[in-house]
Chain A
Amino acid sequence: MDEPVIKYYRRLLKEGFKNAGSLESPSIFLDTAEEEVSICSVIGNYIHIFLNVKNDIIETIKYLCICDPTSNVAVEILCDLVKDKTLEAAATTTEESFLEELEGKSEELQKKAAGLMELFCKGLARYQSIVPQNNLSNNDIKEKEARQASVLGLI
């Protein structure tokens, strides 16, 4: 792990993973496995992101993950960066803004940031193409998860 990531991660451990959790019926549900986005290079390493959007503004964002610390730092930063922003503004978040938030350089984190933004933009594009959409029910999400478990090929 790179030094700035270690520092950030220790803070998370101390202060808690404040964006961790899930949402009941999210407006947008993002899934690294389903979108085949390589945020975490390790097999079996993956993230779910839940967003509630109101009047085009990201009101709440939460995540669940099974991933390494660097990926976790990246997704925590993503949540902080896009919360309360309009979808359009959130989509323009850059890798540099992740590094600013990190207060340091990390190639590894930058790669994960790029992956997360790819995931985010894919989900956003889908959401915008089908708005107004019904919020996803918990059953929809469970079904997706079950499908992914088989795709993951955890060995």
Chain B
Amino acid sequence: MSATVPMISKAMLDSIREDFPALKKKRNGLPPIYLDNACTTLVPKQVIDAINEYYTTYPACGEGRSRYWFAEDVTCRIEGDSGKGIKGSRQIIREFINARSEKEIIFTSNTTHAINIVALGFRFKPGDVVLLTDKEHNSNLVPWLRLQGKGLIKLDHVDSTQDDIFDLENLKYKLANRKVRLVSMAYSSNLTGYTIPAKDIIKIAHDYGIKVLLDGAQTVPHKTVDVQDLDVDFLAFSIHKMCGPKGVGILYGKREFLGQKLHESDETPDVIEPTILGGGTVTETTYDSYSLLNPPERFEAGIQDYPGQIAAGSAIEYLQRIGMNRINSQENQLNHFLTEQLLNRYGETGWFKILGPHDSSQRGGILTFEIKRPNALGIAEELSKKSNVMIRDGAFCVHSFLNKKFGQGWMRPGLPQEHRMLYRVSLYFYNTMDECQIFLETLNEIFEERSYV
């Protein structure tokens, strides 16, 4: 590992862990070992305090809807107030991803919602193709499948290479030969942790005049993402995967694609239409018409999750204090250790396989492994029962790829000898080497009980 990458020191890690109330819980005298961070992360007290502060101190609406004390307190925590020296969470998020303007930051309820805003608002023409990777989370597949089902678009995907990395040549081929209108791809896979070469992909797509949406759910929480440097057109991510509250996500969109006219019909075909309209999205209405507010408000319909939006700012400031490089480096170090240990122990068995590239530095904080042994199910449950180790099993919402890889119905009843199951360990900066060690020991104990080893 490069000496220039700052690590999280033992003292710092101890102090970080003090911030997470959930880590202080015990069951059967043992602490929790939370390794399902790709699903959602734990929440530090700074974020919980921000939520509490909202409900106890100014539990009113925001967005400048009302001009009174509580509402001003809410609005300035979201939109900022330079006079009072308060940075709003929208600005914190803008700076975090280096967007040009706060107008480009739309609050959503999660990544899924953000992707749907683009899918439903994009002005597709018949025959337009949307290009995905081969391992999309259902949240970046189903919205497109529905449009395809309605005959509005066609879907295609870029298969990975034999080594399970992104195939730029295949991308170029598809862009040159298919009528691609939008590339919509998981920046990092929640199945393998592999991060696609987004900057190259965007450059190539733009050369063809094609826009790019990145599903950053598994990237933005783990490394610095600079939307201007990437030149990405849309970026979706979830705050609950980065120490923030559940129910808040972000859609970043380049200003020129979010609209500026009072009526959708006056916008250019490049602009996405807001698909959910109502209170908070319009400047005024008559019995026959409405005039839209500018972005981001036109995309934020109805009363919002104000405590969540405020706490989103606190979560990001929390990550910034630790430093994204340190976060990345801690995850890499732990993943390197786990990968090495697991491969040393079981790499030669033939029934244990790591999904994605073997090189852990290409998988961020994610380590998914396949176990092809009789009754391969129930290991996550056993880990939890024995040592409070929490990992995920199943298909991780990537059924499409796994059905292709293992054959449809691979999770249906069959002969015990034919079972296989996938397990995913996903790390975050507060995880420790000791936790990884306990996971490894408990896993081995389970394997021994089952006579796998």
For the complex, what is the distance from the CA of A42 to the CA of B184, rounded to whole Å?
A: 33
- Name the B residues within 8 Å of A65 (CB-CB): 413-414, 416
Given A45-B378, A69-B375: A154 touches B411 (CB 8 Å cut-off): yes
- Name the B residues within 8 Å of A71 (CB-CB): 375, 378
Chain B: minimal CB distance from A152 (Å):
8
Question: Is A47 an interface residue, CB under 8 A from the partner?
Answer: yes
Q: Which residue of B lies closest to A10 (CB)?
A: B451
For the complex, what is the distance from the CA of A65 to the CA of B409, rounded to whole Å?
A: 12
The answer to whether B399 touches A21 (Cβ under 8 A) is: no
The answer to whether B394 touches A1 (Cβ under 8 A) is: no
Query: From residue 27 to 42 of chain B, which have CB atoms closer than 8 A to chain A?
Result: none
For the complex, what is the distance from the CA of A45 to the CA of B419, rounded to whole Å?
A: 11
**Interface SS of B by simple majority:** loop
For the complex, what is the distance from the CA of A20 to the CA of B419, rounded to whole Å?
A: 13
For the complex, what is the distance from the CA of A33 to the CA of B412, rounded to whole Å?
A: 11
1/0 per residue A2-44: CB within 8 Å of B?
0000100110110001001100000000000000000011111
Question: Is A64 an interface residue, CB under 8 A from the partner?
Answer: yes
Question: Is A125 an interface residue, CB under 8 A from the partner?
Answer: no
Question: Is A155 an interface residue, CB under 8 A from the partner?
Answer: yes
Of the residues A9, A41, A48, A70, contact of B413 by C-beta under 8 Å? A48
Number of interface residues of B (CB under 8 A): 25
Question: Is B349 an interface residue, CB under 8 A from the partner?
Answer: no
- Name the B residues within 8 Å of A42 (CB-CB): 377-378, 380-381, 393
Question: Is A68 an interface residue, CB under 8 A from the partner?
Answer: yes
1/0 per residue A113-148: CB within 8 Å of B?
000000000000000000000000000000001001
**Interface SS of A by simple majority:** mixed
Number of interface residues of A (CB under 8 A): 34
Question: Is B199 an interface residue, CB under 8 A from the partner?
Answer: no
The answer to whether A155 touches B378 (Cβ under 8 A) is: no
The answer to whether A66 touches B397 (Cβ under 8 A) is: no
The answer to whether A46 touches B375 (Cβ under 8 A) is: no
Chain A: minimal CB distance from B247 (Å):
18
Question: Is A52 an interface residue, CB under 8 A from the partner?
Answer: no
- Name the A residues within 8 Å of B395 (CB-CB): 154-155
Residues on B facing A (Cβ under 8 Å): 374-375, 377-378, 380-382, 393-397, 399, 409, 411-417, 419, 449-451
Residues on A facing B (Cβ under 8 Å): 1, 6, 9-10, 12-13, 17, 20-21, 40-48, 63-72, 145, 148-149, 152, 154-155
